Amino acid sequence: MTKIEFISLEDLLEMKANDQKYTLVEVLSEEDYRNGHIPGAINIPSDKLEALAENRLKKTDTIVVYCANYACQASTKAAQILKRMGYRKTFDFKAGKRGWIHGGLELEKS
């Protein structure tokens, strides 16, 4: 089984504050993404991840995936898929959108 590494809201904010390069990926549906996502995130729905990852992500990038909240399993499954595909620096922001909002942070809409 592939080891999944979780990161906290503080870890994500630290990466952002230090201008660390990473790609933030929301793995929920396109509609969920349009209704509000973490600023700077791109959308690759989990059911399209294997088909779209190689065109949208580099295997050398640091990738942070997230979904709705702790109960949502989509980000963990996405992290497992990406790791199996060779994306070694993949992390799961397990708190997801709900954790972002509970941290007092805003979502953006597109």
Q: Is residue 67 part of a domain?
A: yes
Q: Is residue 27 part of a domain?
A: yes
Per-residue pLDDT tens over the stretch 45-101: 999 999 999 999 999 999 999 999 999 999 999 999 999 999 999 999 999 999 999
Helix (H) or strand (E) holding 6: strand 5-6
Q: Is residue 80 part of a domain?
A: yes
pLDDT of residue 1: 62
Region 35-48: what's the mean pLDDT? 97
Q: Is residue 107 part of a domain?
A: no
Q: Is residue 108 part of a domain?
A: no
Give the range of the structural domain holding residue 27, as residue numbers without chain letter: 5-102
Q: Is residue 56 part of a domain?
A: yes
Region 98-108: what's the mean pLDDT? 97
**Residue 77: CATH number of its domain:** 3.40.250.10
As for how many domains the chain has, the answer is: 1
3-state secondary structure at position 84: helix
Q: Is residue 66 part of a domain?
A: yes
Residue 97: which of 109, 83, 79 has the closest Cα? 109
pLDDT of residue 2: 73
